Chain A
Amino acid sequence: GAVVSQHPSRVICKSGTSVKIECRSLDFQATTMFWYRQFPKKSLMLMATSNEGSKATYEQGVEKDKFLINHASLTLSTLTVTSAHPEDSSFYICSALPLAGGQGQDTQYFGPGTRLTVL
């Protein structure tokens, strides 16, 4: 149980285009999902907290107009990188927190990540 999927697993795009990444909890509901960015040989940097039915909360220094987050249902959150540039190339990872009261509600379950390369 507690499986989180991401799509696509890797994407290459041209500079100036937008890219959407999906994060789904497959066998549980999650009111809260998190988006992270991981640089090579570095730890994960929390970008934003995504709550179902409300606006995402962004960490300091993360541009909310550049990284659009939508959490329209209890099993799906999306991250759209708008007007992507080469410096946005990175490994993006999402995680999902099971619904309050559910098993493992204090544990984040991670997706496999999406490798974004902007040319």
Chain B
Amino acid sequence: GNSVTQMEGPVTLSEEAFLTINCTYTATGYPSLFWYVQYPGEGLQLLLKATKADDKGSNKGFEATYRKETTSFHLEKGSVQVSDSAVYFCALSFTGGGNKLTFGTGTQLKVEL
């Protein structure tokens, strides 16, 4: 079956540090890949997505590249802010599979001054 593996958290960084959150997936075929962010007490917000190999999704300074060779979709940001503190979820879905999302376990990011 399909699965998504994320690095365990929490990840604690100082403001302006470089962020990488690793995400790898296992799937039959070529899924669409997503990063969602959840701020405390809120639902999930779509952060970025990529629908085919070598696509780069980007938003709010975050970016991730769909790597078919390594089945990865790592999230990066060059300079994090305290306001980026949240839980980040990597996910995949197939349009032909009813668009059901398969989520990773989430990675909590804490950014300190």
Interface contact B98-A49, CB-CB below 8 Å? yes
A105 to B96, CA, bound (A): 12
Tell me, yes or no, whether B65 is within 8 Å of chain A by CB.
no
- From B95, B103, B106, B108, A106 is in contact (CB under 8 Å) with B95
Of residues 54 through 85 on chain A, the ones whose CB sits less than 8 Å from some CB of chain B are none
Interface size class of B (residues with CB under 8 A): 20 to 34
Minimum C-beta distance from B78 to chain A (A): 25
Tell me, yes or no, whether B81 is within 8 Å of chain A by CB.
no
Of residues 62 through 113 on chain B, the ones whose CB sits less than 8 Å from some CB of chain A are 89, 93, 95, 98-101, 103-106, 108
A97 to B99, CA, bound (A): 8
Minimum C-beta distance from B49 to chain A (A): 6
A41 to B108, CA, bound (A): 9
Interface contact B36-A43, CB-CB below 8 Å? no
Chain A residue contacts of B49, Cβ below 8 A: 107
A53 to B87, CA, bound (A): 34
Interface contact A49-B43, CB-CB below 8 Å? no
- Extra contacts besides A43-B104, A108-B93 (19): CB < 8 Å: A32-B98, A34-B101, A41-B108, A42-B105, A42-B106, A43-B103, A43-B105, A46-B100, A93-B43, A106-B95, A106-B99, A107-B46, A108-B46, A108-B99, A109-B46, A110-B43, A110-B45, A110-B46, A113-B41
| 29 intermolecular pairs with C-beta atoms under 8 Å apart | A4-B43, A6-B43, A32-B99, A34-B100, A34-B101, A41-B108, A42-B105, A43-B89, A43-B103, A43-B104, A43-B105, A43-B106, A44-B101, A44-B103, A46-B101, A49-B98, A49-B100, A93-B43, A106-B51, A106-B95, A106-B99, A107-B49, A109-B46, A110-B36, A110-B43, A110-B45, A110-B46, A113-B41, A113-B43
Binding site for B on A (CB under 8 A): 4, 6, 32, 34, 41-44, 46, 49, 93, 95, 97, 105-113
Binding site for A on B (CB under 8 A): 32, 34, 36, 41-46, 49, 51, 89, 93, 95, 98-101, 103-106, 108
